[in-house]
Amino acid sequence: MLLLLSLVTGLALSASGVTTDKETDPSHKLFHDIRKKVNDLWQSLFYPVMPGNETDGMIYATCEMKPSSKIDADKPQVTGQVLFRQCHSYGRLEAIFYLDGLPLNNNQSGRAIHIHELGDLSNGCDSTGGHYNPFSVNHPRHPGDFGNFFPKEGKIRKYKTNLFATMFGPYSIMGRSVVIHEQEDDMGKGNNKASLENGNAGKRLACCVIGICNKNLWEEKLSEVTDKKKRGLNKRT
Ligand SMILES: [Cu+2]
Ligand SMILES: [Zn+2]
């Protein structure tokens, strides 16, 4: 990014230098064109145009969870949404996990949720590849290692902030997938190779591809998830 910034600055300087004495010089036009291209690239990386040209500075995405076509019919059939919001360009990612279809008992094991590398559902959730791991590190330090979720009455309703993944720039999660697993994530403490790759979280129950959306879903679900939290607090006091 620093390289891009210095390139933009350098081009701007050289282009403005040319303007003063060689207005008709073809090299001026070339500099101008290159500068425009670099600026456009910069803009598209960090300031994507929002749907409906919304200007609240936020980008929103949704992932519509569907049971894997490869999962047995007797396994939980998980549906719902994982929603994302992020302020450009350096805001931290927030997410709402709004999922249904898990067993109704409240003492079941946690369920791991991760971002997987590919948005390919051609073979159910089995074709989404491994964990999205752009920095070649061990699990659970991948950007989409969201940890374990403990359903209540068959539902997951969770709002998380300050997540490590991003929707901007070269490591954007857009177009990749979210996967919910049958089992709990061992968070890299399983003492085997798979633990450092995927947390031994077992079968892939359901998955979805992350796509851009407007803010309506986010606002609708956020108030529901945070209202529930408030009601929970009231109950305890
Ligand atoms: Cu996973
Ligand atoms: Zn991972």
The CB-side HSE value for 69 (13 A sphere, CA atoms) comes to: 8
CA of 50 to the centre of ligand 1 (A): 29
Catalytic residue among 85, 111, 139, 176: 139
Per-residue pLDDT of the chain in tens (237 residues, 90 and over written 9): 444 444 444 444 444 444 444 456 888 889 889 988 887 777 666 665 565 555 577 899 999 999 999 999 999 999 999 999 999 767 899 999 999 999 999 888 999 999 999 999 999 999 999 999 999 999 999 999 999 999 999 999 999 999 999 998 889 999 999 999 999 999 999 999 999 999 999 999 999 999 999 999 999 999 999 886 565 555 444
CA of 191 to the centre of ligand 2 (A): 15
The predicted structure's pLDDT at residue 169: 86
SS (H, E, C) the chain: CHHHHHHHHHHHHHHHHHHHHCCCCHHHHHHHHHHHHHHHHHHHHHCCCCHHHCCCCEEEEEEEEEECCCCCCCCCCCEEEEEEEEECCCCCEEEEEEEECCCCCCCCCCEEEEEECCCCCEEEEHHHCCECCCCCCCCCCCCCEEEEECCECCEEEEEEEEECCECCHHHECCCCEEEEECCCCCCCCCCCHHHHHHCCCCCEEEEEECEEECCHHHHHHHHHHHHHHHHHHHHHC
CA of 222 to the centre of ligand 1 (A): 24
The predicted structure's pLDDT at residue 197: 98
Task: Indicate the residue type of 191.
Answer: N
Catalytic residue among 114, 157, 176, 186: 114
The predicted structure's pLDDT at residue 44: 65
CA of 84 to the centre of ligand 2 (A): 18
The predicted structure's pLDDT at residue 50: 60
Is 28 a known active-site residue? no
